[in-house]
C-alpha cells in the first residue's frame, strides 16, 4: 500500500535520521511512504486566534497536494512522521469541517490552486503501524527481539492534545508501548509520558525547558529506563541537550539516551542493523548483557 507522505522541514534537516529509518521500516513492513511532489512548511504551531486565516495557508496547500496525490494513489490518507506537522494539519482539517465558510474563504483566496474539499485523512506514522499494519505483522517481522531492554515511550504534547486530534488515550496512551512490546522490549510506565518538553522555549527561555526535561527524565530514570523513545524531533533534541545541561549543572547524575522510535524499529526489524547498533552501542550491550 502506498501512502502520500508529508515530511515537513525538520525531517529534511536535523531530523534526517528519523526519516531515513522510517522509510526503511515501511519497506520492511511492506508499505511505502511516497513523498508529496512539492510541499511547503506546515506553519508549525497551529494558530489559535479566531480571526487570522493567513497562517493556515501553508497547511491548506499541503492538504491540497495530498488531495491531488490521493487521486493518483486512490487513497485519501496523508501520513506524517513529525508530531508537530501532524498536530497542525489535523487541527486545520478539523477547523474546516467545523467552519465550512472559512474553507470557502480560503479556497476563494487561493485562486491558483484547486479547491480543498476537506476530505483528507491525516495519520501519524504510529497510527499506520498500529491500525493499518497491526501488531501481529510487526511481531512476525522481528529479527532481533529487544528482550529485556527497558524502554520508556515518551509521547510529548502534540500527538494527543487537544482531544479532537488525539489518536490514543490522552492520559494513559498505549499505542507506542504496544508496538514496543511487540518488538520484545519491556515497556516502562512513566506518568510523565505526555508532559511537554518545553518545545520552542528552547530558543527563548531555556530554563523552562530544563525544568520540564528534569521532571520527565528523573521519573524515567527512577523507573529504570535504559532508553527514552520518542517520535518527535524537537522532543528528542530538547531531552538530549536538556540532559546535557542538567548533567553539567549536577542536577542529574546520568544521561538517558533518547532515540527515535523509527530507529529502534530498524534495530529490531532489519537484517542490516549494524550501523544503528554501532551508533547506539548501549542497546547492543544491554541486549547481549541480558541474553537478548
Partner 1 sequence: MVFTVSEKGLELRKNVEEISGQNIFQCYQCGKCSATCPVVDSMDMAPNKIIRFVQMGDLEVLDQNTFWVCAACFTCSARCPRSVDIAKIMEALRNVMLRNKQDFINIYSKEFIEKMIEEIPQMAIVAAIKKGVW
Partner 2 sequence: MLAEKNQIPLVSVFIMGKEYKVPSGLTLMKAMEYAGYRYTRGAGCRAGFCGACATIYRLKDDYKLKSALACQTTVDDGMYLVQLPFTPANKKKYDMEKLNIAHNALLKEYPEIARCISCNSCTKVCPQELKVMDYVQASLRGDIEKAAILSFDCVQCGLCAFRCPAEITQYHVGQLARRLNGKFVAPKAIHTEEAVAKLNNGVSKKEISKLKILKLAEIKDLYKKRVTE
- Distance in angstroms (rounded) separating the CA atoms of residues 39 and 106: 18
Closest to partner 2 by CB, 59 vs 252, is 59
- Distance in angstroms (rounded) separating the CA atoms of residues 265 and 268: 5
The C-alpha cell at 47 is: 494558530
Closest to partner 1 by CB, 56 vs 141, is 56
Q: Which of residues 226-245 bind partner 1 (CB under 8 A)?
A: 233-234, 237, 241
CB 70 within 8 A of CB 77: yes
Q: Which partner in partner 2, partner 1, none is near 99 (CB below 5 to 8 A by kind)?
A: none
The DSSP line for 91-102 is HHHHHHHH-HHH
Q: Which residue of 4, 70, 173, 198 would you call a contact of partner 1, by CB under 8 A? A: 198
Q: Cβ of residue 46: shortest distance to partner 2, in angstroms?
A: 13
Q: Residues 252, 255, 256, 260: is their CA dihedral positive or negative? A: positive
Determine if 211 is a binding residue for partner 1 (CB under 8 A): yes
Q: Which partner in partner 2, partner 1, none is near 73 (CB below 5 to 8 A by kind)?
A: none
Nearest residue to 214 via CA among 240, 170, 252, 244: 252
Beta pairing partners, 260: 230
Determine if 9 is a binding residue for partner 1 (CB under 8 A): yes
| Chain residues that interact with partner 2, rule: CB under 8 A | 9, 12-14, 38-41, 43, 54-55, 57-58, 61, 110, 112
Beta pairing partners, 258: 228
The DSSP line for 77-93 is EEEES-HHHHHHHHHHH
Closest to partner 2 by CB, 61 vs 284, is 61
In the three-class reduction of DSSP (H, G, I as helix; E, B as strand; rest coil), residue 244 is classed as: helix
Grid look-up 518545553 returns 198
Q: Which partner in partner 1, partner 2, none is near 38 (CB below 5 to 8 A by kind)?
A: partner 2
Q: Which partner in partner 2, partner 1, none is near 211 (CB below 5 to 8 A by kind)?
A: partner 1
Sheet (strand 150-153) strand order: 186-187, 150-153, 227-230, 258-260
Closest to partner 1 by CB, 199 vs 266, is 199
Q: Cβ of residue 200: shortest distance to partner 1, in angstroms?
A: 4
Q: Residues 272, 275, 277, 280: is their CA dihedral positive or negative? A: negative
Closest to partner 2 by CB, 181 vs 236, is 236
Determine if 41 is a binding residue for partner 1 (CB under 8 A): yes
Q: Which stretch in 115-123, 161-169, 252-260, 280-288 sits in contact with partner 1 by CB under 8 A?
A: 161-169
Residues contributing to the site for partner 1 (CB under 8 A) = 8-10, 13-15, 41, 43-45, 47-51, 55, 82, 84, 157, 161-163, 170, 194-196, 198-205, 207-208, 211-212, 215, 233-234, 237, 241
Amino acid at each position: 500500500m502506498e501512502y502520500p507522505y508529508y515530511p515537513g522541514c525538520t525531517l529534511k534537516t536535523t531530523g534526517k535520521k528519523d526519516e531515513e529509518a522510517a522509510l526503511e521500516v515501511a519497506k520492511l513492513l511492506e508499505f511505502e511512504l511516497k513523498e508529496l511532489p512539492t510541499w511547503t512548511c506546515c506553519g508549525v504551531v497551529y494558530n489559535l486566534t479566531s480571526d487570522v486565516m493567513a497562517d493556515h495557508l501553508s497547511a491548506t496547500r499541503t492538504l491540497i497536494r495530498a488531495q491531488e496525490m490521493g487521486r493518483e494513489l486512490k487513497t485519501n490518507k496523508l501520513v506524517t512522521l513529525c508530531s508537530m506537522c501532524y498536530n497542525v494539519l489535523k487541527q486545520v482539517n478539523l477547523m474546516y469541517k467545523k467552519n465550512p465558510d472559512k474553507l470557502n474563504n480560503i479556497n476563494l483566496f487561493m485562486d491558483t490552486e484547486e479547491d480543498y474539499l476537506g476530505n483528507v485523512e491525516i495519520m501519524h506514522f504510529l497510527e499506520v503501524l498500529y491500525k493499518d499494519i497491526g501488531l501481529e505483522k510487526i511481531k512476525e517481522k522481528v529479527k532481533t527481539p529487544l528482550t529485556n531492554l527497558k524502554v520508556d515511550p515518551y509521547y510529548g504534547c502534540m500527538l494527543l492534545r487537544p482531544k479532537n486530534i488525539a489518536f490514543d488515550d490522552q492520559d494513559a496512551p498505549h499505542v507506542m508501548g504496544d508496538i514496543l512490546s511487540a518488538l520484545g522490549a519491556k515497556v516502562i510506565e512513566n506518568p510523565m509520558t505526555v508532559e511537554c518538553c518545553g518545545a520552542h522555549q528552547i530558543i527563548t527561555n531555556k530554563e523552562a525547558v530544563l525544568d520540564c526535561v528534569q521532571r520527565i527524565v528523573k521519573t524515567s530514570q527512577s523507573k529504570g529506563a535504559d532508553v527514552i523513545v520518542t517520535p518527535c524531533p524537537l522532543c528528542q533534541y530538547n531531552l538530549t541537550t536538556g540532559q546535557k545541561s542538567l548533567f553539567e549543572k549536577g542536577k542529574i547524575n546520568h544521561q538517558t539516551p533518547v532515540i527515535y522510535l523509527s530507529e529502534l524499529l530498524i534495530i529490531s526489524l532489519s537484517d542490516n542493523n549494524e550501523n544503528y547498533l554501532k551508533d547506539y552501542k548501549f542497546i547492543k550491550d544491554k541486549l547481549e548483557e541480558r541474553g537478548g
